[in-house]
Copies of this chain bind each other. A is one copy, B any other.
Amino acid sequence: MARTSTLTDLEAAALAQVAEKGGATSYAVARAFAQSPAEYWSGSAGAVYPLMERLLKRGWLQANAGAQGKRKRTQYQITDAGRQELEGWLGDVAGAAGMGMDPLRTRLAHLGNLPEAKRREFLNSVRAELVAQSAVPAWPDDQRLQALHASWLANRIAWIDQLERVL
């Protein structure tokens, strides 16, 4: 029942955005990525515009080509097939339980290459940076995402505090 998804995570996130807003343009989707505190995706036009076309061609989005004005202005909406695909991706437990790409964890795995003093300093600095991030609401306009992000940060800080024993 693995139902391994045919969507990249960026595609899935874009699809989810369209679903949640009940329709969006490529620009709106790109802007949302660009403004998110997650630095992993740039939210560049070069990524998003072709991506939306792909989703359209695969039948997961439909285009209400609202040619308002003279320039093309494509409003996308999710289709039933798209919703199904999205649910498949959301429910992909194996994918969700994967390790992903964690810049802190990757560094911790190789921290032995740093002298003891620098190791401590590094951990202290990262911890301080995370605390600083906690002080600034990342999504002032979305309470759920804000709460999720806050809990992620808090958990990360807790991890660092526990690490002393491991290192």
Contacts and interface: CB of A to CB of B under 8 A. Distances in A.
Chain A interface main SS type = helix
B99 A39 contact: yes
A163 B150 CA distance: 11
Interface of A: 9, 12-13, 16, 19-20, 37-40, 83, 86-87, 89-114, 118, 122, 125-126, 129-130, 133, 144-145, 147-148, 151-152, 155, 158-159, 162-163, 166
Given A19-B113, A114-B87, A147-B166, A107 B96 contact: yes
A144 B112 contact: yes
Contacts of A100: 40, 100-104
B101 A95 contact: no
